[in-house]
Amino acid sequence: MTFSPINNTDNTGDVMALRQNPSADQVGRPTWADIDLAALLHNLGQVNALLHPKQRVMAVVKADAYGHGAVPVCRTLVRAGIIDFAVATLEEAQALRRAGVDTNLLVLGGCFPGQEEGFIRDVLMPALLDLETAERLNRVAVRRRQQISVHLKVDSGMGRVGFTPAQLQLALPRLKEMPGLVIQGLMSHFACADEPCSEVSTEQQHVFYDMIDLVRTSGINPVEFHLSNSAGISGRYCSECTLVRPGIMLYGGLPGDDFAATLDLRPVMHLRSCIAQLRELPAGSGISYGHQYRAERPIRVAVLPIGYADGYNRLLSNVGHGIVRGCRVPVVGRVCMDWIMLDVSTVADVAIGDPVTLLGSAHGVTISGDAMAAQLDTISYEVFCRIGARVPRRYLPSV
């Protein structure tokens, strides 16, 4: 299903018009996600307001920009002046190159055996996680009489990937003798930045600064340094860093509960569907699989063509909500693979075809990714990333 872009986020009237007057390219299941590019730029402004003069943004667009669509997101951010982006895999970076994204692309997941030619050919930068990978990349680059820029990843306390301080000290003499490599950047990653007063984060900063000194003393001089994710940007200033890596902030998710009072973030994704059927059921009726919901009174049920196959989590059974005609109404019964049911008994004039917002905003009411994540005992990152590929994205213009 294809929708024409519109200028407002609360698009109830436009959805109704599409339902009533579908064209050949607009016919399809009435379930989609609006991606509000103006909200994306607003959130970028929130990031920029926290930066120091020598710092710039490396926008994290891995996992298809957290489910928002990496290509449209990148194009919007490029127009806003962003020149640095980070993805997780070679394949993600190559998809952006094919789409014409001609910017600095850092692949956070590194370079796996056999991928060296692809990195060099497409002018992509891997995070360098170990010495063996450095040797592979150097061999291929030298054979091709080229060089490849890398960002040296150090483990300052995350305990995941990258060179530990001891490993780095042993590796630096060998890295210095690899003519095919240009160590463009030095990077690490906070483990507990969502806790503003974390002693772990303070210690990580000290370790990272020590590792910067170690690299410089060896005679290697990166020009880029970065440590801060969204939470780090919001809660800590890293004096040595030239780049910051916002991810969830760009898409309207809080980097932690403690930042709600200080950040004015807007939802970028608005998950919507339309009422396919209305059912009048008597008191005592069971709804959906297992009859885990039974109506205590006569109930009007709206049925929507969306389910867990679309990323609307099954754990939202009997606890989720939707927004119908400005009213917040509950999900009733188990979420099915392709359907969910809402109790719309309190909604005046509710009708088949009415648009329903399940995530995001409509009529001044919001179901945020963070609120949904709290119901699921997870984080908004997962909420956004799970909205599936069979849910079309419609991009609302950025101006």
Q: How many CB atoms lie under 10 A from the CB of residue 366?
A: 18
- Residue 313 has which token pair? 């989590």
Pairing of strands 293-294, 340-343: unpaired
DSSP secondary structure string for all residues of 177-203: T-TTEEEEEEE---SSTTSTT-HHHHH
Given a contact cutoff of 8 angstroms between Cβ atoms, the answer to whether 335 and 320 are in contact is yes
- Residue 344 has which token pair? 């719309």
Given a contact cutoff of 8 angstroms between Cβ atoms, the answer to whether 33 and 394 are in contact is yes
Amino acid of residue 50: L
Identify the helix (H) or strand (E) that includes residue 37.
helix 37-48
In 242-325 the beta strands, taken as DSSP E runs, fall at: 243-244, 269-274, 277-281, 286-287, 293-294, 299-304, 321-324
Q: Residue-wise over 165-200: b if at least 16 C-beta within 10 A, else e?
A: eeebeebbeebeebebbbbbbbbbbbbbbbbeebee
Closest by CA to 235, choosing from 274, 300, 350, 227, is 227
> Catalytic pick from 54, 62, 153, 312?
62
Q: Determine the longest span between alpha carbons in the chain, in angstroms.
A: 79
Given a contact cutoff of 8 angstroms between Cβ atoms, the answer to whether 331 and 321 are in contact is yes
Kindly compute the dihedral angle of the four CA atoms of residues 20, 25, 28, 33, in this order, to the nearest 10 degrees.
Answer: -90
289 is catalytic: yes
62 is catalytic: yes
Q: How many CB atoms lie under 10 A from the CB of residue 20?
A: 8
> Catalytic pick from 153, 209, 251, 289?
289
* SS3 state of residue 147: coil
Kindly compute the dihedral angle of the four CA atoms of residues 70, 249, 266, 35, in this order, to the nearest 10 degrees.
Answer: 10
Given a contact cutoff of 8 angstroms between Cβ atoms, the answer to whether 185 and 222 are in contact is yes
- Residue 121 has which token pair? 């050919």
Q: Which residues are catalytic?
A: 62, 289
